[in-house]
Structure 1
Amino acid sequence: MLTIHAAPLVLPVGAAAVVDGAVAVDGDRVAALGTYAEVAATHPAARVRRWPGLLTPGLRQDRAADLLTRCYHPDPREADELGELPLWGEAFERLAATMDATRRSGSIRRGLQRMLRHGTTHLAGPLGADDPALRTAVARSGLVRVPGPPAGAAPVGDKAPDPDPFAAGGDLARTAHGPLRVGGRADLAVFDVPDEAALYGGGPRSCVATVLAGRLVHRAR
């Protein structure tokens, strides 16, 4: 079914922002992009999803390998013991020493889900060439693997990775997987913020929806 995703502001990247904008999605492709009035007029039978804030291309996570292989993502049932945030550094190393394959696979799946909840649709860098569990989990997630990290990306060093792609300090033009365009793959992210500036600076940045190849894979409650 053709779906129109509408938001007060659409930021296609590489083109002007669209106030009261919309993106029509047909299958896994962008069928139209423009103002809601224009898109709705040309697709009157489409289902409409209205979102708050702004709609952008899906984002690229440049530290995917660190998040999936050097962090442990606790199961909610472990929250009392381990907390809710990814474990990194010495805490991860201690846990990894006794971690079996089932527990590691669960962590990888939860890490991928956490990325989706931050608007990620693309994973940069080498991933899982010699790691069957990682390779299988990424393939099943539908997330797209791309080369990277790109020139100018923040060095990884020993700083704990963050599932939020904007945490590295990049702007939308660098952090988005690429521009939204008619005929392109429908990878979208929606943030409940008033403008692009609110995506940066470390403030609250609620990702309310992630669309991966036309499928709604995350929707905030």
Structure 2
Amino acid sequence: MLTLHRAALLIADPAAPAAPVTADGAVLVDGALVAWVGPYAGRPDADARQREWPGLLVPGLLNPYGACQLERRYHPDPREELGAEPLVLDVSDERRGGSARRGLQRMLGHGTTAVAGPFAHPAVRTAVARSGLAAVPGDGADGGLDPLAGRSLAEAVHRPLRAGGPAALAVFAAGSAAELERSGAGCCLATVLGGRLLYRGR
């Protein structure tokens, strides 16, 4: 199924020189791949479901702190009454798997479509593999859920949006890259991974 994601602003490749910004931009997704990227007015004539977003559409982000967040932090189940913030807590592999799944959901809520390992716990490796998020090598740096913390948008994107590439994108309630960098990725409105809308902000 074709889906056209239209946004007030589009930056398809934040790491490119001068990072061109397209006002009223769009990304046409065909299954798990990007079919077309450009201004909405120049979109291909296609019978596509359309999603309209009010903010800034960019490629999905890479969280370099994946190993820290999924293996050295525990993401509580709301029924445990341990609060909402990740904790440093030693738990069984079974609980570690549940924690990793909740952590991955929280990462999707920050526009994350790729996480950095390495992942030593089998339960965490399984959770990452089943999530669809790309797992990439990392140095195990200590950090939080926000992939923009201390990093520019150009540094945080996993890969650019281009025709033929993976349909992994995020939309944020921001009017520019600079505003997004100031506010952080917690203003995420939507995360699309493998062409599927896996997170939508309330």
| Alignment TM-score, normalising by the size of structure 1 | 0.84
Using a 3 Å threshold, how does the CA distance of structure 1 residues 156 and 148 change in structure 2: closer, same or farther? closer
Q: Distance in 2 between matches of 1:17 and 1:71?
A: 37
SS in 1 for 2:171: strand
2:75 to 73, 76, 95: 73
Q: Which residue of 2 aligns with 1:18?
A: 22
1:31 to 20, 30, 35: 35
Tell me, yes or no, if structure 1 residue 163 matches structure 2 residue 165: no
Question: Following the alignment from structure 1 to structure 2, what is the Cα–Cα distance between the partners of residues 205 and 83?
Answer: 18
- Report the CA distance between 1:219 and its aligned residue: 0.7
| Partner AA of 2:21 in structure 1 | A
Q: Which amino acid aligns with 2:55?
A: G
Q: Cα offset for 1:43?
A: 3.1
Q: Partner residue of 2:97? A: 105
**How many residue pairs align between the two structures?**
198
2:47 counterpart residue number: 45
Structure 2 residue 198 is the aligned partner of structure 1 residue 206 = no
RMSD (Å) for aligned C-alpha atoms: 1.7
CA contact (8 A) 1:192 1:205 kept: no
TM-superposed deviation, 1:10 = 0.3
Is the Cα–Cα contact under 8 Å of residues 199 and 205 in structure 1 kept in the other structure?
Answer: no
Residue 6 in structure 1 maps to residue 10 in structure 2: no
State, as a whole percentage, how many aligned pairs show the same letter. 55
Structure of larger gyration radius: 1
TM-score for the superposition, normalised by structure 2: 0.92
| Contact 2:148 2:185 (8 Å CA) reproduced | no
Q: 1:68 and 1:204 mapped to 2: Cα distance? A: 18
Structure 2 unaligned residues grouped into runs of 5+: none
| Aligned-pair CA distance for 1:200 | 1.5
Instruction: Judge conservation of contact 1:193–1:205 (CA < 8 Å) in 2.
Output: no
The reply to whether residue 184 of structure 1 matches residue 174 of structure 2 is: no
